[in-house]
Structure 1
Amino acid sequence: MNKLRTLVSLGLLLWLVGCANGTHRLPYDSWRLGFGTPNYMEVWIETADAVDVRDRVFRSAMSGIASTQSPKNLRSDPRGWPEQPGAGAGKQVLGADLPRLLYVRWQSLAEPQTYEAYIVIPEATREAMVKSELGYCAARGQWREDYRKMLTVGLAPGGIAKVWLLGPCLSAIDVTRVQATVVKVGPYDGTSGGQHRPLSDTSKSYIEKHGIPYCSW
């Protein structure tokens, strides 16, 4: 009996320490970081790093191709952002607490140009990430309690980074809009001789025909 009480007491102590350190702060295992672009405006993400509220850095939380639609009929309009953006191409940020800062360095293939942006996540956004709300899941045809645990970043020519917070069954809410700066050394920290990744033939054809609608994002 004494041994059982000791084990129970130890377990309770560890649980309390974990709470004090923020280990149990999130009501879910991880949050998601995703990226998208306007149609035809392709992007290659060199790195997307996240810093949580405990100042832990999660390097390369995402890298690679951002989600893009490039219909071959060249009739899709890339101007503006959708009212309800999708999750984008991304990954779960495992082991992180709530996000405080995002750093993104990317190649805007449509221009081409390399940008970097520091995106501060407001406290109001973090509060929304741990607030359970009732949402309708169209895929399941039912209502259920859910969390907004998905950050989607839209990257557009001119160095625009637009951020939304959404959930699998909850509508997106605006977080922030950031103007990035040009990375003067060029892509890949200047190691590629100024060569960006190639633009797809479809996107290249669209831009040659219609141009880039700057100031629409």
Structure 2
Amino acid sequence: MISYLRPTFCALLLSGCTFANSQSMPYKSWYLGFSAPDYMEVWIETADVVDIQDRVFQRAGSGIASMQSPPNNSGDSRGWPKRAAIGSGKHVTGADLPKQIYVRWQSLVEPQTYLMVIKIPEATREIMRKGEKAFCAADGKWITGYRQSIGIRLVPGGIAKVWVGGPCMTPIEVTTVKAVIDPRGPYEGKSGGEYESLSNESKAYVEKFGVPYDSWK
């Protein structure tokens, strides 16, 4: 499976030489964010994007996924959120709407290295293009809002749920993806098997409660 995914994405990289000036979305850029359950720390090695014009944006995301670690093991890592947060990340500047998102990440509580390709269908892009009237409680105003953000929640076992959302808009779940294990380990085998460090709070939680794999099925 690994040998299939990587050459496929490399082929996409080679095809990303066609540039176009127009964009199909009604805003300048879209946001890519990542989150993880309480204490279930994730380090994103890279998130590479291929947009619908077949342009490639390498390292459109990387670093720590947003996560909470309340003191005294008072948090709860189990299950999926009823209202998903988009998570930490950044705007994918210069890109059109995405066609595929390639993600390689470290699940630090296991530890394990995963990779996956998230295929974004046209139906999801249509949701992102569609403007809707929305009420913003923070300032009491009605706006025309867009779901211009993609949020990816990564959990141990290599499962990811994907939502689209935006300011004052209710997030919509669009897909669930099961990643594969990268047998090379962290950083494609270039770190000698060394993972990013796990925080003391996460370590204490896992030692007491374990990793609730069954809650994410």
TM-score by length of 1: 0.88
Q: Give, in whole Å, the separation in 2 of the partners of 1:140 and 1:86.
A: 20
Partner of 1:170, secondary structure, is coil
Partner of 1:23, secondary structure, is coil
Work out whether residues 86 and 163 of structure 2, in 8 Å CA contact, stay in contact via their aligned partners in 1.
Answer: no
Work out whether residues 122 and 175 of structure 1, in 8 Å CA contact, stay in contact via their aligned partners in 2.
Answer: no
Size of the aligned set, in residue pairs, is 197
Work out whether residues 23 and 96 of structure 2, in 8 Å CA contact, stay in contact via their aligned partners in 1.
Answer: no
Map 1:6-155 → 2, pairs under 5 A? 23-155=22-154
Q: Deviations over 1:164-216 (max 9, x none)?
A: 00011100101110110001010011011111011100000000000000021
RMSD: 1.0
* Structure 2: runs of 5+ lacking an equivalent: 1-19
Give 1:138's aligned amino acid. A
Q: Give, in whole Å, the separation in 2 of the partners of 1:95 and 1:176.
A: 25
Instruction: Among all aligned residue pairs of Structure 1 and Structure 2, give the percentage whose two residues are the same amino acid.
Output: 58
Work out whether residues 38 and 68 of structure 1, in 8 Å CA contact, stay in contact via their aligned partners in 2.
Answer: yes
- Asked if 1:209 is matched to 2:208, the reply is yes
Give 1:105's aligned amino acid. R
Map 1:183-194 → 2, pairs under 5 A? 183-194=182-193
Work out whether residues 44 and 107 of structure 1, in 8 Å CA contact, stay in contact via their aligned partners in 2.
Answer: yes
Q: Give, in whole Å, the separation in 2 of the partners of 1:94 and 1:134.
A: 25
Q: Give, in whole Å, the separation in 2 of the partners of 1:145 and 1:86.
A: 20
Of residues 133-142 and 63-72 in structure 1, the stretch that sits farther from structure 2 once superposed is: 133-142
Work out whether residues 135 and 143 of structure 1, in 8 Å CA contact, stay in contact via their aligned partners in 2.
Answer: yes
Partner of 2:127, secondary structure, is helix
Q: Give, in whole Å, the separation in 2 of the partners of 1:136 and 1:83.
A: 20
Q: CA 1:83/1:22 → structure 2, altered by over 3 Å: closer, same or farther? A: farther
Give 2:56's aligned amino acid. V
Work out whether residues 163 and 175 of structure 1, in 8 Å CA contact, stay in contact via their aligned partners in 2.
Answer: yes
Q: Offset of 1:87 from its aligned partner?
A: 2.0
Q: Give, in whole Å, the separation in 2 of the partners of 1:214 and 1:147.
A: 34
Partner of 1:202, secondary structure, is helix
Q: Give, in whole Å, the separation in 1 of the partners of 2:135 and 2:81.
A: 19
Work out whether residues 44 and 65 of structure 2, in 8 Å CA contact, stay in contact via their aligned partners in 1.
Answer: yes
Q: Write out the 4+ residue segments of structure 1 that deviate beyond 2 Å after TM superposition.
A: none
* Structure 1: runs of 5+ lacking an equivalent: 1-20
Give 2:200's aligned amino acid. D
Partner of 2:197, secondary structure, is coil
Q: Give, in whole Å, the separation in 1 of the partners of 2:77 and 2:140.
A: 31
TM-score by length of 2: 0.88
Partner of 1:139, secondary structure, is coil
Of residues 123-132 and 72-81 in structure 1, the stretch that sits farther from structure 2 once superposed is: 72-81
Q: Offset of 1:22 from its aligned partner?
A: 6.5
Q: CA 1:91/1:70 → structure 2, altered by over 3 Å: closer, same or farther? A: same
Partner of 2:11: none
Q: Offset of 1:163 from its aligned partner?
A: 0.3
Work out whether residues 105 and 116 of structure 1, in 8 Å CA contact, stay in contact via their aligned partners in 2.
Answer: yes
Q: Offset of 1:92 from its aligned partner?
A: 0.1
Q: Deviations over 1:130-171 (max 9, x none)?
A: 100011212222221110000000000000111000011100
